[in-house]
Structure 1
Amino acid sequence: MRKYAMLAVSLALVISLLAACSSGGGNSAPSATGGAAEESKSSGEKLPVRFLLPGNEPEDLAVVVEAINKKMADDGLNLVYQPIYLAWDVWDQRSNLMLTTGEEFELIAIMHDAKGPQLLAGNGGIIPIDDLLDKYGPDLKKSMPDWIWDSVKIGGQTISVPNFWADTAFSDGMVTMRSDLLAATGMQPPKSPEELLEAAAKIQEIWPDDNKNVYVKMLSEPAYYLHPTYETYPFTVVENMIYVDQEGNVKSWLETEEFKKDVTFMRQLYERKLVHPDILTVPGEVINQEEIAGRYLFRQGDVGLSEDVKARFPDAENKVYYLTDSPKFRSYAIRNSNGVSSTTKHPEAAIQFLNWVYAKQENFDLVTYGIKDVHWKETGDNLKDTLKKNQNGGASYELANWLLGHVEMNRYPTNYDKDRLERRTTISDDTLNSITIGFNFDPTNVAAEYANTVAEMKTSVEPLRFGVVSYEQAFDKVLANMKAAGLDKVVAEYEKQFKEWLASR
């Protein structure tokens, strides 16, 4: 069994490499227990916490890292924080290479819509952490509700640390768009996919820049904002390949009418030049910079405008819109987490570090926003103002909430929209949870097929999902490729495990 598992590991990582070569109240946290600090202190050895992060390192990284390490030393932790930033365009290739060659590091940021924890755990890239949490992470465990921790378990084992930076209950059905520009078009808030498309086209026409090459921000995830408009809603899409309804029925997502509706809408966007013409090849960093600059027609989810954008366009305002008035539905628990690398000799260092971060607000603030009254100043509950900026007008130091955050500890600009602040710092208590929350698929029994389908999805499905090719032109070949990669076996294994999990509850 071990032999086949190792073969699956090698296959999964090789495929990934090839694919890569071709995103007052509420501010309190539990106090530190001291147990983790004592464990670290007693060893007398400073252990590195090498944290693999996507993107470019912030301008003031060195000075903040120095402050973090001093604070940890003052608190009795013999750890040395060493963040490692990998540019977006080499993230997959470099991180996979580090894992395959056994290069040592302790933590890796996981984007569930790209390469989720199931794949990393299945190919041996990250390790289960329950024993580590029990021994070194008491405050970390207490910082998040049980249902969030359940969302990162496979076969009863916790495989990563959830990044509970926002409650997804507010995300389903939501798009963000410039409300000032929507008003300038004379249109009312969109209440259907067709109206959303027309609004995007008209906003592009009146975009307040000479450069009107501005597009819809595309994400590598299902079009959740469209789903409440479908008669079969609510339903859940798992890893872009599996459909589960609230009755527990499981089938291939690609073979549903809902998927066809999604990609047909994306094709309409692409044909009307509302999607970047080179969406499949444009570097992720370019897309991210466009978003930071506020240059998108609309995007899924809840995002604000940077202080720099507000300075350039004082009347600019983002608002969220829902295409229907359906009740809130939490189709998934989280979309980001952090895994403990299998290549580290000291996995306890990773959990000790995260335990320290979440034990106190001041530790969290230092790691995510930098040195207080140098890089930022506190302006209220969950609020801050940036004091030190880089040459592009952004914060000279900041670690994005989606990389390391907490819904009740994150801070936002003082002028942040009050409604958005409430959504971002609140855990909803009147939301229907997906029937799948608490279940995580273990791909071990279909490791090769799972790795193949994930890789094939990027090659075959992504052009369809982004509207670059039409459903009629490409679907038959896409489906054939996905089935050849092992889609049917993955769906069948998922259904088997899911039904067993449901029966055991």
Structure 2
Amino acid sequence: MRKSMYVLLFVLTTVLFVMIITYCRANPDKSSMVSTPAPAKSDIQPTTLKLLFPLDKPAAQEEVIRAVEAKLAKDGLPIKLEFTYIPYDQYWNKVWLIAASGEPYDIALSAFSNISDFVSKKVLAPLDAALENYGQNIVKSTPDYAFQGVTINGHIYGIPRVMPISEFQSFVQIRGDLRKKYGLPEIKTVADMDLYLETIHKNEPAITPYFYDTGRFLLREYGDVAFFAGGYLNAPVYIDPADPQLKVRNTYESDFFQNIMEKMHDWQKKGYIPYGPSDTSRYPDPEIAFNSGKVAATWSVVLKQTERIDAFKAMNPEGELENVYLHPEKPKYLFTGADNILSVFSTSQHVNESVAFINWLRSSQENYDLFTYGIKDVNYKLKDGAIDYDGIEPKHQYTPISWSWNDIRYVRFSKYISPEYSNQLRNWDKEAIVSPTLGFVPDLAPIKSEIAQLNVIITEYLPLLYDAKVDWAVTMERFRAKLKDAGMNHVMTEIQKQFDAYRATRKGDKS
């Protein structure tokens, strides 16, 4: 009898223990008995990860990466890093060729504008299992809406950077010192921009008023929309979040497209922009042209001022930069949750190791600082928590393309960025309005042949349409006809079907 009671007591105790553990796992915030989650798996074997990035190799990379590898080893990750850099104009095609050829690469930069296309072509590996087992810090620090921006057919295909994301491309950069020099108002409308460009044109003959930008910021004036199957005006279709019907529409039959083209043509004819605004022949390196004072307005995104400021100040110690965001009084939409993304090639043999490395990067300020800024007092200095390069030789100033992996929790801004502006950027998304398109990423596999044809036509015609010397009506009619013949209507129908299904699913989630 006593033995039976002991057995019964043991069974009851075991059942109770299992119930407590099950409850705690399901309700991690409701019990002080729950320990912190177990760290990501550390059964990583010695591996060399091959990373592919655009642009140029940064100075001092060897000494920084040696320090990064030493810290990885100390933290239980025997990972080495090998980098390859490709000129930007060749980069995206190179990503596709690597996947097609099976070259042994692992991590690469991808983007929201092309992730659907890459997935449909089987360029990228799904990361769901690797994130579950090796990416706990990534999952914990990444907003749900950011993961929605890299999820296609229920699978995650990249790790988005965590940064101010609402309308992050709706900017243009100007010389704030020149604006103030001539007593001009802050630029909040296209009329203000007209006045700025006109003033520079009249009073600064050695400066090109506006160069190397295709007018993305003008959408704040002419129509804020979410683009799909591409980025900005090279995306064939869009959805207007203010449209009650939420219809997928043709970019090249929209009023905003024509209005942006007309404004760009107007600025070309007045001499504010060289003919063909995307042509870089006047200044082979547009970034140096702007930083050296040859250009008064150029392209920008929400964080670009923080990334550009040190190079600009090195050439213009008394100069000032201003990020222009038109109509701040209008709704600020959160169209999508991702922009720049770290993805893993589908041909990689090191998916788990790749995720484990990025997880390490996103796990602490120390790790982030080391990989992003280098070795303190060797590659940079800290001044009141800000990045300072005073006294650091250029050959030791390590400035990689950190816009591939920004984490706003850890980002350090330049000493030239004011605390007020820094705070504004860190809180940029707080008043954003969630667009009904947030989280929708179309699956382009059913329309990949049509998308490929449309891309060829768009690539051919957009530069022509930007050029004020071209006969707009004739060129536009030919352009639209070719798009129709290539399957534009089918693309719109398919993406509309997918979007409607996505919306129905989201409504179901809310209920």
* Match in the other structure for 1:287: 286
C-alpha contact (below 8 Å) 1:267/1:469 kept by paired residues: no
Structure 1 range deviating more: 236-245 or 78-87: 236-245
Deviation at 1:94, TM superposition (A): 3.2
C-alpha contact (below 8 Å) 1:32/1:356 kept by paired residues: no
TM-score (norm: length of structure 2): 0.82
C-alpha separation in 2, matches of 1:398 and 1:71: 19
C-alpha contact (below 8 Å) 2:159/2:341 kept by paired residues: yes
Number of matched residues?
456
* Match in the other structure for 2:504: 503
* 1:225-259, Cα deviation, whole Å (9 max, x unpaired): 323334xx553233322221223222111111111
SS at match of 1:413: coil
Please identify the structure whose Cα radius of gyration is greater.
2
Deviation at 1:435, TM superposition (A): 1.1
C-alpha separation in 2, matches of 1:268 and 1:357: 47
One-letter amino acid matched to 2:437:
T
Deviation at 1:444, TM superposition (A): 0.8
* Match in the other structure for 1:94: 94
C-alpha contact (below 8 Å) 1:32/1:139 kept by paired residues: no
Q: 1:133-172 to 2 correspondence within 5 Å?
A: 133-164=131-162, 166-169=163-166, 171=168
C-alpha contact (below 8 Å) 1:236/1:243 kept by paired residues: yes
- Specify whether residues 92 and 224 from structure 1 end up closer, same or farther in structure 2 by C-alpha distance, changes over 3 A only: closer
* 1:156-202, Cα deviation, whole Å (9 max, x unpaired): 111111122x3123647543321221122343234432431331232
* Match in the other structure for 2:172: 175
C-alpha contact (below 8 Å) 1:446/1:490 kept by paired residues: yes
- Specify whether residues 432 and 172 from structure 1 end up closer, same or farther in structure 2 by C-alpha distance, changes over 3 A only: farther
* Match in the other structure for 2:375: 371
Out of 330, 336, 344, the position equivalent to 2:334 is 330
- Specify whether residues 415 and 282 from structure 1 end up closer, same or farther in structure 2 by C-alpha distance, changes over 3 A only: closer
- Specify whether residues 141 and 254 from structure 1 end up closer, same or farther in structure 2 by C-alpha distance, changes over 3 A only: same
Structure 1 range deviating more: 73-82 or 265-274: 265-274
Structure 1 range deviating more: 411-420 or 74-83: 411-420
C-alpha separation in 1, matches of 2:59 and 2:499: 46
Is 2:411 the partner of 1:390? no
* 1:412-435, Cα deviation, whole Å (9 max, x unpaired): 111213333123333522210211
Q: 1:218-229 to 2 correspondence within 5 Å?
A: 218-219=213-214, 223-229=215-221
Q: 1:174-253 to 2 correspondence within 5 Å?
A: 174-207=171-204, 211-213=206-208, 215-219=210-214, 223-230=215-222, 233-238=223-228, 239=230, 240-246=235-241, 247=244, 248-253=246-251
* Match in the other structure for 1:19: none
C-alpha separation in 2, matches of 1:273 and 1:112: 34
One-letter amino acid matched to 2:196:
A
One-letter amino acid matched to 1:494:
I
SS at match of 2:52: strand
TM-score (norm: length of structure 1): 0.83
* Match in the other structure for 1:16: none
Over the matched positions of the two proteins, sequence identity in percent amounts to: 21
C-alpha separation in 1, matches of 2:167 and 2:418: 15
Q: 1:44-123 to 2 correspondence within 5 Å?
A: 46-113=46-113, 116-123=114-121
One-letter amino acid matched to 1:235:
V
- Specify whether residues 414 and 263 from structure 1 end up closer, same or farther in structure 2 by C-alpha distance, changes over 3 A only: same
Deviation at 1:285, TM superposition (A): 7.1
C-alpha separation in 2, matches of 1:390 and 1:32: 43
Deviation at 1:477, TM superposition (A): 1.6
C-alpha contact (below 8 Å) 1:49/1:353 kept by paired residues: no
* Unpaired runs of at least 5, structure 1: 1-30
One-letter amino acid matched to 2:286:
I
SS at match of 2:453: helix
SS at match of 2:331: coil
SS at match of 1:90: helix
Q: 1:306-325 to 2 correspondence within 5 Å?
A: 306-324=309-327, 325=329
* Unpaired runs of at least 5, structure 2: 1-35, 507-511
C-alpha separation in 2, matches of 1:432 and 1:112: 19
SS at match of 1:226: helix
SS at match of 2:146: helix
* 1:436-457, Cα deviation, whole Å (9 max, x unpaired): 1111100011111122222332
C-alpha contact (below 8 Å) 1:203/1:297 kept by paired residues: no
Deviation at 1:379, TM superposition (A): 2.6
SS at match of 2:217: coil
* 1:340-370, Cα deviation, whole Å (9 max, x unpaired): 1012122112111101100111111111111
**RMSD (CA atoms):** 2.7
- Specify whether residues 296 and 133 from structure 1 end up closer, same or farther in structure 2 by C-alpha distance, changes over 3 A only: farther
SS at match of 1:316: coil
One-letter amino acid matched to 1:178:
R
SS at match of 1:412: coil
C-alpha separation in 2, matches of 1:173 and 1:95: 27
- Specify whether residues 215 and 255 from structure 1 end up closer, same or farther in structure 2 by C-alpha distance, changes over 3 A only: same
C-alpha contact (below 8 Å) 2:112/2:150 kept by paired residues: no
* Match in the other structure for 2:360: 356
C-alpha separation in 2, matches of 1:436 and 1:466: 32
